[in-house]
């Protein structure tokens, strides 16, 4: 049975506000993090890089630099929730037990015009974010 809990951005914000040990891990690329924006106090640990989109070899080791304890609550996010779920599964395989996947991600799903940010996501819910 999986330890990964699927949550909304609003639930993620609540966890981060109420648990000082909880970390918000942004699994997107550095370009997405900088140019599209990111939640304030999120930690960028990229899971996949273009053009091949292979998993970054030292992803778990990078997480361990921020979350030495396998019981640290980790809220994982990406653009829409897919890469962060892949990250959560890798971390679960590595022994992490307190994992949350933010389903809507930072930008949410595409709308009928193929635009993100109108149907869900961290920004859509007006949660604190910034651009670099």
Q: Which CATH number do you get for residue 77? A: 3.40.250.10
**Nearest-angstrom CA–CA distance, 75 and 6:** 10
> Each residue of 82-101: pLDDT tens digit?
999 999 999 999 999 999 99
What's the pLDDT score for residue 81?
87
41 found inside a domain: no
Q: pLDDT band at residue 109, thresholds of 50, 70 and 90?
A: confident
Q: Given this model, what pLDDT does residue 2 score?
A: 80
Residue 132 within a domain: no
Look at residue 68 in the predicted model and tell me its pLDDT. Answer: 84
Q: Is 46 a member of any domain?
A: no
Number of domains in the chain: 1
**Residue 77: Cβ within 10 Å count:** 29
Structural domain boundaries, residue 104: 1-36+72-127
Length of the chain counted residue by residue: 132
Better-predicted residue by pLDDT, 2 or 123: 123
């Amino acid at each position: 049975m999986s330890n990964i809990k699927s949550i909304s951005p609003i639930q993620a914000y609540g966890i981060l506000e109420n648990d000082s040990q909880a970390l918000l891990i942004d699994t997107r690329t550095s370009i997405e993090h900088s140019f599209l924006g990111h939640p304030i106090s999120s930690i960028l640990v990229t899971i996949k890089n273009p053009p091949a989109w292979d998993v970054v070899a030292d992803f778990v080791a990078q997480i361990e630099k921020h979350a030495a304890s396998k019981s640290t609550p980790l809220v994982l996010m990406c653009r829409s929730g897919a890469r962060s779920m892949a990250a959560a599964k890798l971390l679960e395989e590595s022994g992490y037990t307190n994992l949350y996947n933010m389903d809507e991600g930072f930008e949410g799903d595409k709308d009928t015009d193929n635009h993100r940010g109108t149907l869900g996501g961290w920004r859509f819910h007006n949660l604190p974010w910034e651009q670099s």
